[in-house]
Chain A
Amino acid sequence: MSGPPLDLVGRSGTDPRSASAWGRRQELLTNLRAIRGRAYPRYRGMVREKSWLLFEILLPFLSTAAFVFVYRALKAPEQYVGFVVMGGAMTAFWINVIWMMANQLYWEKSQGNLELYFAAPIHFMSILLGMALGGMVMSTTRAAAVLIIATAIFGVSFDVRDWFLVFAVFLTTLAALYSLGMVLASFFLVWGREAFHLGQFFVEPVYFVSGLNFPVARLGLIGALSVGLIPLATGLDAMRQLVFSGATFPIGTPSPAVELGILVVMAVLATVLARWMLASMQARARRDGRLTVRWQ
């Protein structure tokens, strides 16, 4: 009783189950496509929305400039102007991590995309990685613009002695920041409207404890804790020491090499934690029926 041969749409296999099984290569390629697909609207949006240039580059630069003028009004040493400019540039990444990584899953839930992500044959980390890569491109453009404009206008002079370490610290800071963003994103999976308020809570207070406009070691114990826990604080402090080599920093400031080590540990731990958190928060959100609950 053998019937007509099964049409498996060009796939290899003897039955539908074996034909639908994905190989490692296909799985990898699909996840890579998902990463590219999720990153696409981030960098493409920069070109499509012209108002972005004004609101995301020029106006934040003016906000940074305000802090420069505070130091100028106080007749502070010029090195502090450089500190503010570096801080202003790095805030682009933090803002992106908070609003376009951590908070993003809450928006996706509200828009009805979240269930599509979960239903798609991809690992959810691919979505987060795509958001992170697209966000990095976006934020790097903004940070570079702030840095270049501010340097030109305020005459900031850099004194870099170890370019390799500068790039290593910068890239590791991004890795640690966006890994932290993935951890936060998993929290935001189960949160409702508090997500937005928590996002707000993570901006100015984190700027303060990270030493946005001054060396973080000035904050004593709080500063030390920040360097150990917040990638923005660690990366910013290390970058400042590396690009303003001649500047004086308070006693107790860890060396850039030590801070690079801290950043590496942060990046690794946060990535592992993000994977675990995502799975556990996803399970919890499924159990509580919160994955598709909107606007609460």
Chain B
Amino acid sequence: MSAIGEVGVLGERSPSDHRGEGLRSFATAVRLGWQMEANWTDPLLFFIYSVAKPVASALILVVMLQVVGGDASLRYRSFVIIGTALWSVVISGVAGLAWAVLDDRERYRMLKYVYVSPSDFIVVLLGRGVARLGVGAAGAVITLVIGVVALGVPFDPGRVDWPVLLVATGLGLLSIVALGLLMAAVCLQTRQESWSYPDAFAGALYLISGAVFPLAILPGPVQAIGLAMPLTWWIEAFRRALDPANPSSIGGPGSLFQAVTGQVAPGNAEVLIALLATGALVTLAAAGVFRLSSRRAKELGLLDRTTGS
């Protein structure tokens, strides 16, 4: 009797226990993700590998600007370097969760065990994804520093709108994690080939987010899709917080934003509100899709189905 009673007591958990367990799972997953990312080599080599990609991406665009030359290329230099730097966070954030699924299912064959463990599946995946997001963020910071030091990006700490920068960064990172969750949901359904899917998805978002050119150059309906994406508002907020002289990626002559609102470019408050609203929508959608996907994966036995190619 007493044993049954003890089991009953052990089985009952208060909400604070759940929170504590959730945090522990998350912290462990972040640590595991970081170890998997970084412990295969020495810090210097890891640092070189982490920054090579965003720096090279920025250099491709800088040379493109130089090839064309003229005033526009000078005006857009800071624009493209900031956009490219931020994009490394997007790529690593979107890929982080999706690759956690693929790593655990296809390579380490641990996904089924993670799924049946007492930890919440989504919390573990988020933790793994955050570790990779951190690597991407480090790459972005280094690219920005190189941009300021070597590539002529203006930076005056006194002119930076720090509150907007911090709020935008927080909301932007949450939105990126939500997009990563969406890709994880897709990868739960697909086969090993989906290693390249996060990059492809991020590449498509690259077109409609105003990362390296103003949206105004796109057709109206594509601009509308871009305006529905939180990344567009995040990059705009980050750019204007860093240097208000940067051209707007959302407004400008011929832009859908101007046609609808009559304003040349959105103000800071509008940008942050739009970022919050679109970010919330994407997060809700991602959570819903992930839930459906994980349920379907369980029903069809996809959690331990490995594939080759």
Q: Which residues of A are in contact with B by a Cβ distance under 8 Å? A: 41-42, 45, 49, 51-52, 55-56, 58-60, 62-63, 65-67, 69-76, 80, 95, 99-100, 107, 110-111, 113, 192-194, 197-198, 200-201, 203-205, 207-208, 212-215, 218-219, 295-296
Q: Does B3 count as interface, using CB distance less than 8 angstroms? A: no
Given contacts A69-B207, A201-B53, 20 further A-B contacts (CB under 8 A): A51-B186, A55-B201, A56-B196, A63-B204, A66-B206, A66-B207, A69-B213, A73-B72, A73-B76, A73-B217, A74-B70, A80-B68, A111-B308, A193-B36, A194-B41, A197-B49, A201-B52, A203-B53, A205-B53, A208-B56
Bitwise interface map of B from 174 to 214 toward A, beta carbon under 8 Å scored 1, else 0? 00000000000010011111111100110110110001111
| CB of A54, distance to nearest CB on chain B (Å) | 8
Count of chain B residues with Cβ under 8 Å from any Cβ of A?
53
Residues of A within 8 A of B57 (CB): 204, 208
Residue among A71, A72, A76, A203 with the highest chain B CB neighbour number at 10 A: A76
Q: Is the CB of B195 within 8 A of A65?
A: no
Residues of A within 8 A of B46 (CB): 197
Inter-chain CA distance A141–B195, complex, in Å, is: 19
Q: Is the CB of B217 within 8 A of A69?
A: yes
Stretch in B18-26, B58-66, B256-264 touching the partner: B58-66
For A108, give the chain B residue with the smallest CB separation: B308
A69-B218 contact given A111-B308, A203-B53, CB 8 Å threshold: yes
Residues of B within 8 A of A213 (CB): 60, 63-64
A200-B56 contact given A49-B190, A55-B194, CB 8 Å threshold: no
How would you classify the secondary structure of chain A's contact residues: helix, strand, loop or mixed?
helix
Q: Is the CB of B72 within 8 A of A74?
A: yes
Residues of A within 8 A of B211 (CB): 66
Residues of B within 8 A of A52 (CB): 193
Inter-chain CA distance A93–B68, complex, in Å, is: 27
How would you classify the secondary structure of chain B's contact residues: helix, strand, loop or mixed?
helix
Query: Which residues of B, 106-130, contact A by the 8 Å Cβ criterion?
Result: 106-108
Q: Is the CB of B207 within 8 A of A76?
A: no
Q: Which residue from B40, B56, B194 sits with its C-beta under 8 Å from A194? A: B40
Inter-chain CA distance A205–B49, complex, in Å, is: 10
Cβ contacts A to B, 23 pairs, < 8 Å: A49-B193, A51-B190, A55-B194, A59-B204, A62-B203, A66-B207, A67-B212, A69-B207, A71-B64, A72-B213, A72-B217, A73-B213, A73-B214, A74-B64, A76-B68, A99-B196, A111-B107, A111-B308, A193-B36, A200-B52, A204-B54, A204-B60, A205-B52
Q: Is the CB of B61 within 8 A of A207?
A: no
Bitwise interface map of B from 211 to 228 toward A, beta carbon under 8 Å scored 1, else 0? 111100110000000000
Q: Is the CB of B53 within 8 A of A200?
A: yes
Inter-chain CA distance A143–B48, complex, in Å, is: 30
Residue among A55, A75, A100, A215 with the highest chain B CB neighbour number at 10 A: A55
Residues of B within 8 A of A70 (CB): 61, 64, 80, 212-213
Q: Which residues of B are in contact with A by a Cβ distance under 8 Å? A: 36, 40-41, 46, 48-49, 52-54, 56-57, 59-61, 63-68, 70, 72-73, 76, 80, 106-108, 186, 189-197, 200-201, 203-204, 206-207, 211-214, 217-218, 306, 308-309
A63-B206 contact given A69-B213, A192-B40, CB 8 Å threshold: yes
Q: Which residue from A110, A204, A205, A214 sits with its C-beta under 8 Å from B64? A: A214
Q: Is the CB of B56 within 8 A of A207?
A: yes
Residues of B within 8 A of A208 (CB): 56-57, 59-60, 63
Inter-chain CA distance A69–B41, complex, in Å, is: 39
Residues of B within 8 A of A100 (CB): 309
Inter-chain CA distance A194–B39, complex, in Å, is: 10
| CB of B55, distance to nearest CB on chain A (Å) | 8
Inter-chain CA distance A91–B184, complex, in Å, is: 25
Residues of B within 8 A of A51 (CB): 186, 189-190, 194, 197
Residues of B within 8 A of A219 (CB): 63
Residues of B within 8 A of A45 (CB): 191, 193, 309
A204-B67 contact given A45-B309, A65-B207, A99-B196, CB 8 Å threshold: no
| CB of B129, distance to nearest CB on chain A (Å) | 16
Q: Is the CB of A55 within 8 A of B200?
A: yes
Residues of A within 8 A of B52 (CB): 200-201, 204-205
Residues of B within 8 A of A203 (CB): 53
A63-B190 contact given A73-B76, A74-B68, A204-B60, CB 8 Å threshold: no
Q: Is the CB of B200 within 8 A of A60?
A: yes
Inter-chain CA distance A72–B76, complex, in Å, is: 13
Residues of A within 8 A of B200 (CB): 55-56, 59-60, 63
Q: Is the CB of A41 within 8 A of B308?
A: yes
| CB of A222, distance to nearest CB on chain B (Å) | 10
Q: Is the CB of B204 within 8 A of A295?
A: no
Residues of B within 8 A of A200 (CB): 49, 52-53
